[in-house]
Amino acid sequence: MRTGRGRLLTVMAVLIALGGVIDLLKAISKPLPSGQTMMGLNMPPTGIVALGERHTGSGSGFLGLLMAGILFLYAMGIWQMKRYALPMAWLYVAYVILNVTLFIFRNHLPPAPGAIVFTVVYLAGAVGLTLGTAIALTHRSADLR
């Protein structure tokens, strides 16, 4: 029985908490309109993405707060090595796969090679990191309190 989280779980707890901060900021800030430029780059519209659809407006605030709360709870569970983090990990893996897959199908990617490369790297990173966290928690299930 190990007492520490280990590097992977520590890093993932921090990254998941940062994801919660981002969702919280999306909930309390005004969305960036479509086509706005920032530092000379044409930026996509901002908003919380849930089930593959980008939400803006009053409903996005609630979704952002909900997702931020879930992510903070999950990050805290990993940080404190709580037993409830294990089912949350596997549910989050399923949610990430579903969310990213639906987003790709519902939103047409620009034909630019950069957009396709970004999508593939983002998908691999999102699924790989969340799946790796769930597997690490599963391997450490005896250490969870």
- pLDDT per position as a tens digit, 37-60: 555 555 555 677 888 877 777 777
- The answer for residues whose C-beta is within 8 angstroms of residue 9's C-beta and 6 or more apart is 78, 81, 133, 136, 137, 140
pLDDT in tens, 86-114: 999 999 999 999 998 898 888 776 677 77
Phi and psi at 112, nearest 5°, equal -65, 135
| Residue 28: per-residue pLDDT | 80
Least confident of 17-21, 38-42, 68-72: 38-42
| Residue 131: per-residue pLDDT | 96
Residue 1 has pLDDT above 60, yes or no: no
Crossing angle for the helix pair 113-139 and 7-28, nearest 10 degrees?
A: 130
Q: Residue 41 pairs with which residues in a beta bridge?
A: 38
The band of 16, judged by pLDDT with boundaries at 50, 70 and 90, is very high
pTM of the model: 0.83
Quote the CA–CA distance of 93 and 105 in Å, as a whole number: 18
State whether residue 35 is helix, strand or coil: coil
